[in-house]
Amino acid sequence: MNIPYKLYNTDCREVMQTLQGISAVITDPPYGIDLSNHGAFVGDFSVIGDKDLEIANYVIEWCSKEKLNTAMFCSPDKPYEGKWNSRLVWYKRGRGVGGDWERCWLRDWEMILVNAVKPIKKKETSVLDFSPASCEFHKCEKPVSLMSYLIQQLSSEGDIIFDPFMGSGSTGVAALQTGRRFIGCELSQEHFATAEKRMKQAALQPSFFHVAQQTLAPDAGKAAAQNTLFE
């Protein structure tokens, strides 16, 4: 069976300079806000690379240089620099946290910055109404339905979608479900394992078999130089 994805358990910066043929970057990077749970979740958690915007800015500069359609979730308190021609709001249907429970309004929305170098598929409202994910796989999990929408707006069937911060793999699942191929990076071994499992399950769906005319082999994390993405 063809494998329409390739996964790296490593820092995306070790991989990006070797990549070719990427059509769009759809990602939810660390926001540079040193995330705290404010008592909203049971147990402590942290986000790798969330102390500053260094790694997010690296990806933004690379996307600009490569002239790629780009969509990046961000904190409205600390938006990324760079050229963005759309600012989308994801309305989370009453779900969210957003600061001190006693002094802050409920932040039931998130911001997505978009730089569409190539035309989008359809001009629609910039307020995106999608139910949140269950967060079964990741504390900051994004819904596959939302990622599918962004992918379909910014790419075509058969294109390669890259997520340098893939977490538990929602972007990758969405890419396969919409007939794209996928490359993803994730530092956390735990989240990488979850993403790998979800991608394997998604790739088994019959509707995906016709998509990948060429293959991408899974990778355990070594960012070896490649002449082409597909083998």
Return the pLDDT at 210: 47
Range with the largest mean pLDDT of 42-51, 173-182, 204-213: 173-182
Q: What is the distance between the alpha carbons of residues 93 and 199, in angstroms, rounded to a whole number?
A: 27
Give the least confident one: 89-93, 162-166, 176-180.
Answer: 89-93
Q: Cα 9 to the chain's mean position, in Å?
A: 15
Whether pLDDT at 99 is above 90: no
Q: What is the pTM of this model?
A: 0.82
Whether pLDDT at 131 is above 60: yes
Q: What domains appear along the chain, each with residue ranges and CATH number?
A: 5-208 (3.40.50.150)
Coil, strand, or helix at residue 113? strand
Return the pLDDT at 209: 47
Buried b (16+ CB within 10 A) or exposed e, 89-116: ebebeeeeebeeeeeeeeeebbbbbbbb
Cβ 195 vs Cβ 168: under 8 Å:
yes
